[in-house]
Amino acid sequence: MCLAVPGRILSLHGEDPLQRTAQVDFGGVVKEINMAFLPECGVQDYVLVHVGFAISKVDEEEAKRIFEALDSLEEPVRDDSDPTGGEVA
Amino acid sequence: MKYLDEYRDPETAKKLAEAIRRATTQPWTLMEICGGQTHSIVRFGIDELLPDSIELVHGPGCPVCVTPLELIDKAVEIASRPEVIFCSFGDMLRVPGSEKDLLSVKAAGGDVRIVYSPVDAVGVAKEHPDKEVVFFAVGFETTAPANAMAVHQAKLQGVKNFSVLVSHVLVPPAMEAILSAPGNRVQGFLAAGHVCTVMGYQEYQPIVEKYGKPIVVTGFEPVDILEGIYLCVKQLEEGRVEVENQYSRSVLVDGNRPAQQLIQTVFRIVDRKWRGIGTIPVSGLGLQPEYGDFDAELRFDLANRQVEEPEACQSGRVLQGEIKPHECPAFGKECTPERPLGATMVSSEGACAAYYQYRRLMPEGA
Ligand code: SF4
């Protein structure tokens, strides 16, 4: 029920803050989404959408963090304690 | 799709599982709150990537599953009226009431419609001024802003033939109920990321302090869940107890303020009954008095109805992490998705449905 899907804003429409909408692209499927809760978002921003409403902006820098953190996690252990014997890589 | 595919990458998942393995020196029991997370865990086999000493128990975060039986019965009764168009999210249609579900009302000729967004139901009301249009407003904090907006717009636009049957639930009080239960086994939580996109995570600080259990705000994709587990295990192993945010790409500490404001305008906090669990104090939302005209329970005079739940279904114990779905004697026998005894077997996010779909062929004890 709390499913929310990330999509990219293609265009914004409307003046009334409660009814402002965006055309949002979800990997090729475009839907009209209510933007009332994210007044500051602009075209090209990625937003998380739930039941027709954008509820949060996806932060590009933060999105990379996990993959960067992972690289630093990995280093010290590569050679010695990999119980898979390297099969995984 | 960007921001989805990379969080399902099997290699990244394996690296994280390795990191968890290295960080773990003793057994830990963690609970993921949200049914969407439960579904990811079972579907992608995340629990099978973990060391045996880490147990994931599944939490109550499925609004479909916890909507009390009497609300389903009320929905069925309202939807059966000839003057009503009953609008709902699709997942509510097959939830069993005492006697029937909404789908059978529809099959018998009732006008029951699935809507994508609650504001669509307001549109239906405007198109059909001669009908009473009722929306089944269920959900957690994630869905509350959209449901609040539907009621707010109906009021602003003077849509008189629209009302909502509200069964809104809140996550933090349910976490407290689990932590304060005498048999609690949960040592750390993965909090529901999408709830936190709306609410932020300040309200978890007092819970962490009071109960001494870490809470990690966690997303829904396999890589998110594995990182959430990693952060939680690290805290436990290092003896730290904090609120941490794994899902920082979408969750801010304060959440979404405009959404919170609208929730507070339209809803107030009430005690709420959870299916299988019972009443949890201050664990739900009901309409503010100024929006009372939009309350379907008042409009159809059903407010005082109460229904006892049957005992065969163990969903309350499943939802509080006491048992796993396959430990319920009815699982896969008297209770299947085709003939469900409980809502956890119907909802796409219910733990019983997830186990049935992905784990039915699992050998005993696996
Ligand atoms: S398997 Fe069926 S009867 Fe058992 S807890 Fe799940 S929904 Fe209830």
Inform me whether the C-beta atom of residue B64 falls under 8 Å from chain A C-beta atoms: yes
What is the average pLDDT across A12-25? 91
**Side-chain-side CA neighbours of residue B39 (13 Å):** 20
A32 has a pLDDT exceeding 60: yes
Measured in angstroms, how far is the CA atom of residue B32 from the centroid of ligand 1?
19
Cα of B65 vs centre of ligand 1, distance in Å, is 11
Tell if the CB–CB gap between A48 and B248 is shorter than 8 Å.
no
Estimate the crossing angle of helix B351-359 against helix B35-43, to 10 degrees: 10
The reply to whether B114 touches chain A by the CB within 8 Å rule is: no
According to DSSP, the β-strands at B28-34 and B188-192 are parallel
Q: CA dist B122 to A14, B71, B153, B156, Å?
A: 19, 21, 8, 11
Pick the residue with more confidence: A81 or B157? Answer: B157
- Whether the per-residue pLDDT at A66 is higher than 90: the answer is no
Substitution site in B341, B355, B356 for ligand 1 pocket (most atoms within 8 Å of beta carbon):
B341
The DSSP bridge pattern shows strands B111-114 and B243-245 to be unpaired
A41 pLDDT band, cuts 50/70/90, is very high
Are residues B252 and A56 in contact, defined by beta-carbon separation less than 8 angstroms? Answer: yes
**What pLDDT, on a 0 to 100 scale, did the predictor assign at position A78?**
41
Tokens 């870490």 sit at which residue?
Answer: B214
Helix (H, G, I), strand (E, B) or coil at B218: strand
Domains of chain A (ranges; CATH) run 5-72 (2.30.30.140)
Say if A29 is an interface residue toward chain B (CB within 8 Å). Answer: no
Mind spelling out the 3-state secondary structure of chain B?
CCCCHHHHCHHHHHHHHHHHHHHCCCCEEEEEEEHHHHHHHHHCCHHHHCCCCEEEEEEEECHHHHCCHHHHHHHHHHHCCCCEEEEECHHHCCCCCCCCCHHHHHHCCCEEEECCCHHHHHHHHHHCCCCEEEEEEEECCCCHHHHHHHHHHHHHCCCCCEEEEEEEECHHHHHHHHHHCCCCCCCEEEEEHHHHHHHCCHHHHHHHHHHCCCEEEECCCHHHHHHHHHHHHHHHHHCCCCEEECCCCCCCCCCCHHHHHHHHHHEEEEEEEECCCEEEEEEEEEECHHHHHHEHHHHCCCCCCCCCCCCCCCHHHHHCCCCCHHHCCCECCCECCCCCCCHHHCCCCCHHHHHHHHHCCCCCCC
Give the Cβ contact number of residue B290 at 10 Å: 11
Which of A2, A39, A58 has the CB atom closest to B143's CB atom?
Answer: A2
What would the two tokens of residue B232 be? 């939680």
Are the CB atoms for B49 and B358 separated by under 8 Å? no
Closest-lying ligand 1 atom to the alpha carbon of residue B318: 5
Query: Does B5 reach chain A within 8 Å, measured CB to CB?
Result: no
CB-based contact (8 Å) between A25 and chain B? no
Which atom of ligand 1 is nearest the CA belonging to B329? 4
Q: How far apart are CA B139 and CA B137, in angstroms?
A: 7
User: Is the Cβ–Cβ distance between B305 and B73 less than 8 Å?
Assistant: yes
Structure tokens at B241: 């107890």
Q: Is the ipTM of this complex over 0.90?
A: no
CA–CA separation, B93 vs A35, rounded Å? Answer: 28
Separation in Å, CA B197 to CA B79, B217, B221 = 33, 10, 15
Ligand 1 mean position, distance from CA B337 (Å): 10
How close A58 comes to chain B (CA, Å)?
Answer: 5
Q: In a mutagenesis test of the B interface, which of A41, A50, A51 is the best target, namely the one with the most B β-carbons within 10 Å?
A: A51
Q: Report d(CA B48, CA B42) in Å as an integer.
A: 9
Q: Which helix (H) or strand (E) holds B281?
A: strand B278-287
User: B10-23 and A60-74 are packed helices; what angle lies between their axes, rounded to 10 degrees?
Assistant: 60
d(Cα B102, Cα B110) in Å, to the nearest integer? Answer: 9
- Read off the amino acid at residue B189: F
Tell me if A83 and B21 make a contact (CB, 8 A cut-off): yes
In which residue are the tokens 């507070």 written?
B264
| Chain A residues 66-85 with a CB less than 8 Å from chain B | 66-67, 70, 73-74, 77, 81-84
Are B354 and B39 in contact by the 8 Å Cβ rule? The answer is yes
Q: What angle do CA B42, B169, A46 make, to 5 degrees?
A: 65
Q: Residues of chain B whose pLDDT is less than 50?
A: 363-366
Closest-CA distance, B195 to chain A, in angstroms, reads 7
Q: Nearest Cβ partner of B34 from A2, A5, A18?
A: A2
Whether residue A50 and residue B146 make contact (CB cut-off 8 A), yes or no, is yes
Alpha carbons B79 and B97: distance in angstroms, whole number: 13
**C-alpha dihedral sign at B193, B276, B76, B163:** negative
Instruction: Using a cut of 0.95, tell me whether the model's pTM lies above it.
Output: no
